[in-house]
């Protein structure tokens, strides 16, 4: 039964990481993976839980800062457009897009992306937009025709 528990933790952690990109759930899943192997070896559940805790804390404290530095560039001047493969691409608003405090989502080439705008208005659902710049996985967009609702 403990093996099933660790499989559930691994799957939930993987799904959580896909939706958050925080690089925290990833290390919880890594710890659960090691605990899973220990469970297969026949160790008691308290030992498995201790292994999970130790591996999670160790990998999160040692590897997460390195991964964050590699995957997330230092904050730059967001007033200067950052060119990415999506800059200049066209998409359609899925969830109303506001400013950085009220982000929405757009769809480009079948993929959903977090999006914001600098126009001071909300861009309505189904509005065609163009990507003007990007920072990480957040896209800055404007309506294709220059108007917003």
Give the H or E element holding residue 115.
strand 111-116
pLDDT per residue over 88-138, tens digit each? 999 999 999 999 889 999 999 999 999 999 888 999 999 999 999 888 788
Mean pLDDT of 136-149: 79
The SS3 assignment for 82 reads coil
CA distance 24 to 64: 8
The DSSP bridge pattern shows strands 138-143 and 128-135 to be antiparallel
Write down the domain spans for the chain.
2-71, 90-143
Q: Is the pLDDT of residue 145 over 60?
A: yes
| Total-model pTM | 0.50
CATH number belonging to domain 90-143: 2.40.50.140
The pLDDT assigned to 69 comes to: 79
Question: How would residue 50 be classed by pLDDT, with cut points 50, 70 and 90?
Answer: very high
CB 149 within 8 A of CB 127: yes
* H or E segment to which residue 34 belongs: helix 25-40
For the segment 8-30, what is each residue's pLDDT rounded down to a tens digit? 999 999 999 888 777 889 999 99
Distance CA 128, CA 146 (A): 10
Greater confidence, 23 or 6?
A: 6
So what's the pLDDT on residue 84?
78
């Amino acid at each position: 039964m403990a093996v099933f528990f660790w499989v559930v933790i691994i799957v939930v952690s993987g799904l959580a990481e896909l939706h958050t990109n925080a690089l925290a759930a990833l290390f919880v899943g890594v710890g659960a993976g090691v605990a899973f192997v220990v469970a297969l070896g026949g160790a008691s559940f308290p030992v498995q839980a201790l292994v999970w805790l130790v591996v999670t804390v160790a990998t999160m404290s040692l590897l997460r800062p390195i991964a964050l530095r590699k995957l997330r560039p230092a904050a730059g001047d967001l007033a200067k457009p950052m060119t990415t493969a999506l800059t200049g691409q066209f998409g359609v608003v899925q969830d109303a897009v506001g400013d950085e405090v009220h982000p929405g989502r757009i769809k480009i080439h079948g993929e959903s992306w977090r999006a914001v705008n600098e126009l001071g208005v909300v861009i309505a659902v189904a509005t065609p937009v163009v990507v003007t710049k990007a920072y990480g996985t957040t896209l800055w967009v404007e309506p294709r025709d220059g108007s917003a609702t």
